[in-house]
Amino acid sequence: MPSLDWSFVQSFAAVAEHGSLSAAARALGSSQPTLSRHIASLEEVIGTRLFDRGRGGMALTQAGHDLVAHATQMADAAARFELSRDGHDVDVHGTVRITASQIVACYLLPQVLPALRQAHPGIAIEVVASDLSENLLRREADIALRMYRPTQLDVISKHIGDTAIGAYAAHDYIARRGMPETVQDFAGHDLIGYDRSTLIIDGMRAAGLDVTRDSFAFRCDDQVVCWNMTLAGCGIGFGQFLMGDPDPRVKRVSGNAPVASLPIWLTAHAELRSSARVRRVYDWLAENLIQT
């Protein structure tokens, strides 16, 4: 049997993990035609079909199932090799890729990244705005900012603080509907909330207000959409103090006490933590993000 090209195995592992050529290509920074050629070449070398191709994506055959664990182990070993190499990098020039929720990426990171850039002009920042748990081992991100403690293996996580969530309304909404005196007064107002998440419901119930999903006049699980509806005067919405208080377009209507709070966890792969540029960005975020 001819020797296997590592890139074929890497492509096979990525397609098996992500379920489609397009998703695997994005993860690897490659292209669908390249991955398709790699899979075809690998199938030719080993003499068997690895995927059933259909409209729903790429489904592993039995032969593919038998081989995927070995391919994944090889991909993980290669990733660890690269991480170990990068762990000895003392150069503060290069790119650091940060993944964060849409709210953090849109409203909190812009408050600290300009100063980071001034302090370390050799570091370029890539931001992935996503609420999905990117795989730090596979280098889909160097650093993750999450509102929960990540459970991935071989990562270090630091709880850098809690972010308070308050209720806000646009000035024209307040002029039209009046300023609520207490959280209990929210019952007479149009509320903007989440569709499936119970974060706001739980917080308001803890404050003594009996609300359900149907209490929201506008619902969406995309927090950026909800915030923009708040800015547009659709109703009383909810956002972090860190983004709502500095915004002159809205006024906090929930008083000093937060409606709810969320932890912020800063995470990086254990070996990448010793990379000079990743360490600089990690430490900068730990010191400055909650202080904004």
Closest of 192, 80, 99 to residue 144, by C-alpha: 99
Distance of CA 87 to the CA centre of its chain: 23
Model confidence at 106: pLDDT above 60:
yes
104/180 same-domain check: no
> Is 41 inside a domain boundary?
yes
Half-sphere exposure in the Cβ direction for 12 (13 Å, CA): 33
Residue-averaged pLDDT of the chain? 84
> Is 1 inside a domain boundary?
no
| Structural domain that includes position 76 | 6-86
112/78 same-domain check: no
pLDDT tens readout for residues 18-71: 888 888 888 777 888 898 899 888 888 888 888 888 776 788 898 888 888 888
pLDDT of 216 reads 92
186/121 same-domain check: no
- Burial profile 229-266: b = 16 or more Cβ within 10 angstroms, e = fewer: bbbebbbbbbbbbbbbeebeebbebbeeebbbbbebbb
pLDDT of 136 reads 66
In CATH, what number is assigned to the domain containing residue 21?
1.10.10.10
Angle between helices 109-119 and 276-288 (to 10 degrees): 130
More confident residue, 23 or 249: 249
pLDDT tens readout for residues 182-196: 778 888 899 999 888
- Whether pTM > 0.75 for this model: the answer is no
Token reading at 255: 């008083």
**Overall average pLDDT of the 233-256 stretch:** 93
Instruction: Give 42's DSSP letter.
Output: H
Pick from 28-42, 83-97, 139-153: least confident: 83-97
